[in-house]
């Protein structure tokens, strides 16, 4: 019969690596979410956060062996990347007035450009053979 400390050690040897893998997966999902926020891809953000949730739950398995670091890393990575993504999105959005001005200038230049003249299309009536089309 195994003692309770031996059982705890055996569980710790299994649960801590599982929790570490969960924390790594959660951090990867958080990085993807942060990049997606910067790019404005809402669907990708939802997917990354949706995958982060089970990864963070997986990282919580290490807490059964009194190892809280994987769970803390998983949570902190998401918070950090959401903040960094929002700041990056704001920084990218700061250049939007200049891009909009350039876009309007290009549109105005195209509107002011002389129109190109194209030759009218000539359509040919289909041939009915040697008979005139409206013989009557």
Inter-helix orientation angle 69-94/4-39, to 10°: 0
Mean pLDDT, range 64-74, rounded to an integer? 91
CB 19 within 8 A of CB 63: yes
> Is the predicted pLDDT of residue 17 greater than 90, yes or no?
yes
* Greatest extent of the chain over all pairs of C-alpha atoms, in Å: 112
Asked, for residue 65, whether it belongs to a domain, the answer is yes
Does some domain include residue 135?
Answer: no
* 121 occurs within a structural domain: no
Has residue 23 been placed in a domain? yes
Q: Is residue 115 part of a domain?
A: no
pLDDT band (50, 70, 90) for residue 1: low
pLDDT digits (tens, 9 = 90+) for 70-104: 999 999 999 999 999 999 988 887 777 777 788 88
Confidence of residue 32 (pLDDT cuts 50, 70, 90): very high
- The pLDDT of residue 46: 94
What's the confidence (pLDDT) of residue 128? 62
82 located within any domain? yes
User: Whole domain around residue 92: which residue ranges?
Assistant: 7-105
Enter the pTM of the model. Answer: 0.66
Q: Which residue has the higher pLDDT, 66 or 8?
A: 66
Q: Is residue 85 part of a domain?
A: yes
**Count: domains in the chain:** 1
Is 110 a member of any domain?
no
């Amino acid at each position: 019969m195994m003692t309770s400390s031996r059982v705890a050690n055996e569980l710790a040897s299994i649960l801590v690596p599982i929790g570490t893998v969960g924390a790594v997966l959660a951090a990867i999902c958080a990085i993807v979410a942060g990049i997606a926020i910067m790019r404005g891809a809402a669907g990708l953000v939802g997917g990354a956060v949706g995958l982060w949730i089970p990864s963070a739950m997986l990282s919580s398995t290490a807490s059964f062996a009194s190892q809280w670091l994987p769970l803390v890393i998983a949570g902190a990575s998401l918070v950090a990347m959401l903040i960094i993504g929002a700041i990056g999105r704001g920084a990218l959005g700061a250049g939007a007035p200049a891009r909009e001005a350039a876009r309007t200038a290009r549109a105005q230049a195209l509107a002011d450009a002389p129109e190109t003249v194209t030759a009218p299309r000539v359509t040919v009536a289909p041939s009915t053979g040697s008979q005139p089309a409206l013989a009557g």
